[in-house]
Structure 1
Amino acid sequence: MKFKKIAGLTATAILGASLLAGCGGGDEASDGKVKLELFSNKSESINTYKDMIKKFEEENPDIDIELNAPPEAETVLKSRLTKNDMPDVMSIGGNATYGELARAGVLKDFSDSEIVDKIQPAYLKMIGKLVGDEKEGVYGIPYATNANAVIYNKAKFEELGVEVPKTWDEFIAIAEKAKAAGETPIYFTLKDAWTAMIPWNSIAANAAPEDFASKKNAGEASFQEDYKDVAEKMLTLLEYGHKDNMGKAYGDGNTAFAKGESVMYLQGNWAIPEIKKANPDIDLGVFAMPVTNDPEQNRLVSGVDVLLTSTEGTKHPEEAQKFIEFMLQEENAKTYIDEQAAFSAVEGVYQEDPVMEGIKTNFETGAITSFPDHYYPAGMGAENLIQEFLIKKDTEKFLNKIDKEWDKVQNR
């Protein structure tokens, strides 16, 4: 799922005793039932959650769950934080915003809960890095994980006589061949700025230093020094788009790709159900974007798409915990990833959709790395800066500007 960062979210903006004491969230309904609010930042999973909630309520008739998945969800969450009106249970992304909330003391610490033992350690470590060393604890339970990938039309690959590329040069050669054949090689949806982060993260995770964020904060790295190759590769990709790269949004792209209007689509696994809704018969494949010319160095970008957590100040902590435990049951975790074409952070729950065959090896061999932008400062607005760069195409000016924006946010 795309991650829309909360602009300007800082610990000082959300921390305080009044916040923890004044959580809105759930309450007791007039019929005596406990009412909990489940806040989600993913529009794609609304129907899945509705079914999950129905099943939970049947098993727990004394609890009602109200799902709230508003547009621009994290902006809404920011507003609610300032009003001391926190949900009981949250289903949010494992990104910098989660780290901010955890450091601010807003979220429950699950360190002593047995449910932590059900989660793959790699993803616990991933979200731990977001919180940082200054605050120990586990403030969210990784649930569903995702991957940035190149989604491709298998029929068009066959028509072009090409195979899944293993190097950057092979990838670009396919794009060239598609273009020469009158096809649109890649469908871009850059009207929605966040979609630029799909190729950006894929490239940066493989072409920039893995410890860039910590070095940048220590004054030992910069975008100007370490991201020139990333920026140049982004501009190269843009050459293989369509006539209106900046005028099409995410929904437009899902429909267009489903209709066969491009050979490849740079998106996450979360787009696959949306594409199949538009064309159930499309034959899809996925592969990790090969960013370097050394196949052994190319890794799949994967991170925590959904983590479940509850608010420290919820009036119904036991019921909130019960819902999270319900979601972690193997049967329910499997249902979620099957319906959302996602991967599970729960031990023993595997994605078996044949569409994912092209990235299965990455998970099996550990050829995986996390999303670089999850470690960018919350509120930096990287997606908007990158969108602007792709319009103006001034690499030097862009790298200088993104360095300054990072420093400005960090120094607040």
Structure 2
Amino acid sequence: MTGAALAVLAMAALTSCGSGSGSDSGTAATGSVTLKFLIDNSSATVNTAKALADTFMQANPRIKVETETRPGGSEGDNIVKTRLSTGDMSDVFWYNSGSLLQALNPAQTMVDLTGDPVLANVAKDFLPVVSQDGKVYGVPGGTAMGGGILYNRKVYEQLKLEVPKTWADFTANSDKIKAAGIAPVIGTFKDTWTSQLFVLGDYYNVQAAVPTFAQDYTANKAKFATTPAAQTGFDHLAEVHAKGYLQEGFGSATADQGMKLLAEGKGAHYPMLSSQLPPFVATMPQAATDIGFFGIPGTDAAKNGATIWEPAGIYIAKTTENLEAAKKFLAFVASPAAADAVTKAVPPAGPYRITGAKLPDDAIQAAKDLQAYVDEGTTAPALEFVSPVKGPSLEQITVAVGSGLTSAAEGAAQYDKDVEKQAKQLGLAGW
């Protein structure tokens, strides 16, 4: 798409947006206004924000968007909380969606966008992760990503395997892969966070079996160790180790090494987030087409689906003096034109959460595979997007279960205990 066409699309998206409430104090007086936009300092976020700001400013020359960065992690969380509580937040800011948003007291600190034309193009199933008490506060920044199994399509083709829709199919495929002298499953437990995917990526199946699990878990009425569907992720981890599916040296392997093994076809399956792929494609271009994605299979092929990690949200601080300009910017962010602009700057790791936004023809295969789940309506957000309860020690527990040092039942029980302290710190009812 040409820059001119992009600008036309951007302008069309903006003019279709209502004026909203509030006023632009700067526009009337000077004919121009400056929006401050706070983002985290990861390269993907910086590049995405630059593409959004530059394209928006081309179509709206009287509105300047100035980005400022903050650290990621807990340090960045604290900066956002402090600036909101002291009334010193930028006009617009980029922050997590899901459970971390809940701690920001959005009703007091953010502009309520419920029913606003700003949300016209936002995918309806994204809205809950930027909402609290039925009020919507943000639009999606970036793309969703899948949490499931990255697999080598060449290995599947060579062994005439089909993408599994049940766990039994997955283990049958893995047995054939092992017989061919290829590691069926890649483990990279030196980077301990990677050990969690069999558990966290299985949430689609948990929700399909127990639709109220997230609410009951948050209220301390359900546990992993006493809910068979929830313990299944730990069971999978233990089974993969017990059947000898992991490659030699899985305990000391890193995520980068795991991606390389997968791309080279030395391992066939890697439980991982699809966001690991785009940066890797720069060094191993074949990964763009040779690596696909499927959701962690459950027990019923008819209910097959995938767990997704929703993108961050972009929000308007209640203290902004440039409300209409901020709403114009968010309306653009949530438009197909914005998605086109971002795609040119950052290869998408998954589908956009914007109606009408399309993945490019040259998108990585894993993103296309994930888009198919979204199109079919067979996705669920990861548990951390629908419950604030997540313990800090899960990755250590899953390393132990995945290494055969702890049983699946024991690991699930340990994690149930691990979450108690955090739940109490959050002051959740029932704890």
TM-score range, shorter chain: 0.7 to 0.9
On the 8 A contact 1:184/1:241 being kept in 2, the answer is yes
1:211 aligns to what?
Answer: 212
Residue pair 1:289, 1:300 contacting (<8 A) in 2 also: yes
Q: 1:300-335 deviations in whole A, cap 9, x for unaligned?
A: 112422322122234544443333233223222234
Rounded Cα–Cα distance in structure 1 between residues aligned with 2:43 and 2:220: 38
Match of 1:224, SS state, is coil
- Is the CA contact (8 Å cut-off) linking 1:333 and 1:349 kept in structure 2? yes
Q: Secondary structure at the match of 1:115?
A: helix
Cα distance in 2 for partners of 1:204, 1:58 equals 42
Alignment match, 1:21: none
Task: Tell me the equivalent position of 2:225.
Answer: 224
Say if 2:325 is the partner of 1:312: no
Does residue 301 of structure 2 align to residue 295 of structure 1? yes
| CA deviations over 1:331-374 (Å, ceiling 9, x no partner) | 22234357223212211223354724544442233222221232
CA distance in 2, matches of 1:254, 1:57: 38
After TM superposition, list the pairs within 5 Å mapping 1:1-400 onto structure 2. Answer: 34=34, 36-40=36-40, 43-59=43-59, 60=61, 63-68=64-69, 70=71, 72-82=72-82, 84=86, 86-103=89-106, 105-128=108-131, 131=132, 135-143=133-141, 144-207=143-206, 209-226=210-227, 227-238=230-241, 239-282=244-287, 283-314=289-320, 316-336=322-342, 339-351=347-359, 353=363, 355=365, 356-377=367-388, 380-381=391-392, 383-390=394-401, 392-400=405-413
Q: State the 1:295 CA deviation.
A: 0.5
* Aligned-pair CA distance for 1:168: 1.0
The CA distance in 2 between the partners of 1:117 and 1:51, in whole Å, is 21
Q: What's the offset of the Cα at 1:378?
A: 5.1
Change (3 A) 1:39 1:361: closer
CA distance in 2, matches of 1:154, 1:52: 34
Shift of 1:141: 1.5
> In 1, distance between residues paired with 2:285 and 2:397?
33
Q: Give TM-score, length-normalised by structure 1.
A: 0.79
- 2:416 aligned partner, one-letter code: D
Q: 1:281 to 1:382 in 2, by over 3 A?
A: same
The Cα shift of 1:273 comes to 1.3
What is the alpha-carbon distance in structure 2 between the residues aligned to residue 386 and residue 38 of structure 1? 35
Distance in structure 1 (CA, Å) of the matches to 2:138 and 2:320:
15
Aligned equivalents of 1:192, 1:343: Cα separation in 2:
26
Question: Does the 8 Å CA contact 2:238/2:407 hold for their aligned counterparts?
Answer: no
- Which secondary structure state, in structure 1, belongs to the residue aligned with residue 136 of structure 2? coil
1:96 shift after superposition: 0.8
C-alpha deviation, 1:233, in angstroms: 0.9
CA distance change for structure 1 residues 345 and 64 in 2, over 3 Å: closer, same or farther? closer
Structure 1 runs (4+) deviating above 6 angstroms are: none
What is the number of equivalent residue pairs in this alignment? 375
CA distance in 2, matches of 1:94, 1:245: 32
**Structure 1 residue 164: deviation in Å?**
1.6
Q: Which runs of 5+ in 2 are unaligned?
A: 1-31, 426-431
Q: Which residue type is aligned with residue 121 of structure 1?
A: K
Give the Cα–Cα distance (whole angstroms) in 1 for the partners of residues 190 and 137 of structure 2.
Answer: 34
Contact 2:148 2:202 survives alignment (8 Å): no
- Supply the distance in 2 between the matched residues of 1:294 and 1:258 (Cα, whole angstroms): 29
State how far apart, in whole Å, the 2-side matches of 1:104 and 1:408 are: 26
> What is the letter of the counterpart of residue 304 of structure 1?
E
TM-score by length of 2: 0.75
* Residues in 2 aligned to 1:314 and 1:191: alpha-carbon distance in whole angstroms: 44
- Deviation of 1:34 after TM superposition, in Å, equals 3.0
SS in 2 for 1:78: helix
CA contact (8 A) 2:122 2:334 kept: no
Structure whose alpha-carbon radius of gyration is higher: 2
SS in structure 1 opposite 2:147? strand
For residue 389 of structure 1, report the CA deviation from its aligned partner. 3.9
Q: Which AA in structure 2 matches 1:172?
A: T
| Letter of the structure 2 residue corresponding to residue 142 of structure 1 | P
Q: 1:285 Cα deviation (Å)?
A: 4.5
SS in 2 for 1:90: strand
CA contact (8 A) 1:285 1:358 kept: no
Measured in 2, the distance between the counterparts of 1:197 and 1:117 equals: 35
In 2, Cα distance between equivalents of 1:167 and 1:394 = 23
Q: Measure, in 1, the Cα distance between the counterparts of 2:259 and 2:50.
A: 23
Secondary structure of 1:105 counterpart: helix
Tell me how far apart the structure 1 counterparts of residues 221 and 105 of structure 2 sit (CA, whole Å).
Answer: 26
